[in-house]
Chain A
Amino acid sequence: MKFRTIRTLTSQAIKSLKRTTSLTTVLVIVACVLALSVFTLIAVNLTVMGQRMQAGVELRVYLKDDTTEALKNALEKSIRSISGVTKVVYVSKAEALERLGAQLGDENAFFFDDMPNNPLPASFDVSVRRADAASDIADRIRKMQGVDEIRYGPELVRNLVGALRVMWVITGAVAVLVLVGASMIVSNTIKLSVFARRREIEIMRLVGASDVFILFPFVVEGLLMGILGAGIASAIVFVAYWAVSDWVRAAAPFLQIVVDSEWLLRAALGVVAFGAVVGIVGSAMSVRKHLRVQG
């Protein structure tokens, strides 16, 4: 295609874009992308928070008091051999007592002075790579000989894993919905554009214009709709997110919101690319169909 042609066809697309229906479509895309962005940002933040918490997940495997040295060594070996286990540290009865003492502080140390013998059990501190695998690993360890009891991670962490999964599923569903919905809206709007120019298209086909030539302005129009809609939405999200994250940092610093401007910028570009895909898919859908019907 010649440069002159591309220029003419593009200006045609822009002219067509200025119609009210096209602008409405852009606004609808803005709304759709905003919704998707909110879901994605929440999901990303929860995930990052989750990862921070998961990094500290440990199983504490308490041993029976009568466990022999040999059994202890065998147990340690079998725990190490479980995949997903990253670290196994033995904590003897004495060490456990020391640790508790340290936690309680000097003022309370007297509490232990009267004790005839150490009531705390020895244990293995087992680190696992992924929090969501913790309960499976715990089940396996529980069956081993010499194990008395297992405690692991705060309840919150386990719930978070489940919640995260749900969050991502919802985000994925919203993404698919937005992709399909927005594409359909673009497709419909382009259909109107095609309809408005159906006589021209008919003549173009009769005199032998190529498909590319006929398609081009409509695809450009769809592309512009997608980019414009997603771009506006990204800009809004970008600004709003800065404001919200400032506010959260002040009000609830422990939440540690993700504010990496480079990451945000890349996400925004991704969203615009997403809009471009929506626009192209949407317009191509309706124009291809039109051409096919007309033979």
Chain B
Amino acid sequence: MYGVTKVYPGDVVALAGVDLSVEKGDFVFIVGQSGAGKSTLLSLIYRGATPTKGQVLVGGRNVIRLKRREVAVFRRKIGVVYQDFKLLPERSVYENVAFALEVIEAPQKEIARKVSAALDMVGLSHKANSLPGQLAGGEQQRVAIARAIVNDPLIVVADEPTGNLDPDTSAGIMALLSDINCRGTTVIMATHNQLIVDRMRKRVVEMENGRVVRDERQGMYCHEV
């Protein structure tokens, strides 16, 4: 993205001229204080929002210029994971994951195949018929991740996926995201979790007041001393 500025109604400047480029297959942490603009940045990538100024290119396509119908098709290639999982409580684990394919009218056979593969990947095949409420937080997040990857996305965008989880469970989630990244999927993740960032030694982009203030290839959560 180039020179991206996002101003919310009420003159809230969430992003002020951000330039950021992420290679295919990268793993990038976005860190920074609350209100720095991390979530806003992520939402521009999956076209949850459009910038006030500047351009956003994803896979060579100008995301801003997409028509409504194209936006829907575009989002099928991006998996999104949130802090609060966003699972449907009255549907089973299997149904939650399948939901992502059903609403884009994938063929039945393909749905069955892809959902089992995704549940395998996150290690929850044995809980396919459980309801989200019967699962632990980490397991729920795994279901959300399974849903995000079930359609083989190019990019997984995760906004504080470990925000509600304890350190051990978080480590499991990070291992999973790492695996997904190893298979060639780009992962962009916003987080406050210092431990995770420091341990993973991946690219770190630090934001402050809507600007990128640091961008390191193999960074730590804080400046190295």
**Contact call B99/A207, Cβ cutoff below 8 A:** yes
How close is A79's CB to chain B, nearest CB, in angstroms? 66
Asked whether A104 is an interface residue with its Cβ less than 8 Å from the other chain, the reply is no
Query: B48 contacts which chain A residues (CB < 8 A)?
Result: 206, 295
Query: A207 contacts which chain B residues (CB < 8 A)?
Result: 75-76, 99-100, 103-104, 147, 151
Tell me the residues in window 149-188 of chain A with beta carbons closer than 8 Å to chain B beta carbons.
none
Among the stretches B53-61, B65-73, B120-128, the one at the interface with A is: B65-73
**Contact call B75/A206, Cβ cutoff below 8 A:** yes
Query: B147 contacts which chain A residues (CB < 8 A)?
Result: 207
The number of chain B residues with a CB under 8 A from chain A is 23
**Contact call B88/A206, Cβ cutoff below 8 A:** no
Assuming A207-B100, A211-B69, A211-B72, is B86 touching A202 (CB within 8 A)?
yes
The number of chain A residues with a CB under 8 A from chain B is 19
Assuming A207-B75, A207-B147, is B103 touching A2 (CB within 8 A)?
no
Query: A208 contacts which chain B residues (CB < 8 A)?
Result: 72-77, 103-104
User: With A and B bound together, what is the CA distance between A80 and B8 in angstroms?
Assistant: 75
Tell me the residues in window 191-243 of chain A with beta carbons closer than 8 Å to chain B beta carbons.
199-200, 202-211, 213-214
Closest residue of chain B to A294 (Cβ to Cβ) is B48
User: With A and B bound together, what is the CA distance between A217 and B74 in angstroms?
Assistant: 23
How close is B107's CB to chain A, nearest CB, in angstroms? 9
**Contact call B103/A209, Cβ cutoff below 8 A:** yes
How close is A289's CB to chain B, nearest CB, in angstroms? 15
User: With A and B bound together, what is the CA distance between A1 and B103 in angstroms?
Assistant: 11
**Contact call B69/A210, Cβ cutoff below 8 A:** yes
User: With A and B bound together, what is the CA distance between A209 and B105 in angstroms?
Assistant: 8
Asked whether A5 is an interface residue with its Cβ less than 8 Å from the other chain, the reply is yes
How close is B75's CB to chain A, nearest CB, in angstroms? 4
User: With A and B bound together, what is the CA distance between A2 and B76 in angstroms?
Assistant: 18
Best-buried of A2, A203, A204 by chain B (most CB within 10 Å): A203
Assuming A208-B76, A295-B49, is B105 touching A203 (CB within 8 A)?
no
Asked whether B80 is an interface residue with its Cβ less than 8 Å from the other chain, the reply is yes
Asked whether B46 is an interface residue with its Cβ less than 8 Å from the other chain, the reply is yes
How close is A202's CB to chain B, nearest CB, in angstroms? 7
User: With A and B bound together, what is the CA distance between A204 and B108 in angstroms?
Assistant: 18
User: With A and B bound together, what is the CA distance between A16 and B89 in angstroms?
Assistant: 18
**Contact call A199/B104, Cβ cutoff below 8 A:** no
How close is A191's CB to chain B, nearest CB, in angstroms? 20
Query: B105 contacts which chain A residues (CB < 8 A)?
Result: 1-2, 5, 213
User: With A and B bound together, what is the CA distance between A82 and B68 in angstroms?
Assistant: 61
**Contact call A199/B88, Cβ cutoff below 8 A:** yes
**Contact call A199/B75, Cβ cutoff below 8 A:** no
User: With A and B bound together, what is the CA distance between A2 and B111 in angstroms?
Assistant: 15
User: With A and B bound together, what is the CA distance between A208 and B103 in angstroms?
Assistant: 8
Interface bits B135-157 vs A (CB < 8 Å: 1, else 0) = 00000000000010001000000
Best-buried of B76, B104, B108 by chain A (most CB within 10 Å): B104
Closest residue of chain A to B96 (Cβ to Cβ) is A203
How close is A53's CB to chain B, nearest CB, in angstroms? 58
Interface bits B101-137 vs A (CB < 8 Å: 1, else 0) = 0011100100000000000000000000000000000
Query: B50 contacts which chain A residues (CB < 8 A)?
Result: 295
User: With A and B bound together, what is the CA distance between A209 and B76 in angstroms?
Assistant: 8
**Contact call A200/B86, Cβ cutoff below 8 A:** no
Tell me the residues in window 158-214 of chain B with beta carbons closer than 8 Å to chain A beta carbons.
none
Which of A2, A200, A209, A214 makes the CB contact (< 8 A) with B88? A200
Query: A211 contacts which chain B residues (CB < 8 A)?
Result: 68-69, 72
Query: A213 contacts which chain B residues (CB < 8 A)?
Result: 103-105
User: With A and B bound together, what is the CA distance between A170 and B86 in angstroms?
Assistant: 52
User: With A and B bound together, what is the CA distance between A204 and B74 in angstroms?
Assistant: 13
How close is B24's CB to chain A, nearest CB, in angstroms? 20
User: With A and B bound together, what is the CA distance between A203 and B72 in angstroms?
Assistant: 12
Closest residue of chain A to B77 (Cβ to Cβ) is A208
Query: A204 contacts which chain B residues (CB < 8 A)?
Result: 99, 103
User: With A and B bound together, what is the CA distance between A2 and B105 in angstroms?
Assistant: 8
How close is B125's CB to chain A, nearest CB, in angstroms? 21
List 13 A-B residue pairs with CB atoms under 8 Å apart, sorted by A's residue number. A199-B88, A203-B88, A204-B103, A206-B86, A207-B104, A208-B73, A208-B74, A208-B75, A208-B77, A209-B104, A210-B69, A213-B105, A214-B103
Q: Which 8 A/B pairs are nearest by Cβ-Cβ distance?
A: A208-B76, A208-B75, A209-B103, A207-B100, A208-B72, A204-B103, A210-B72, A206-B80
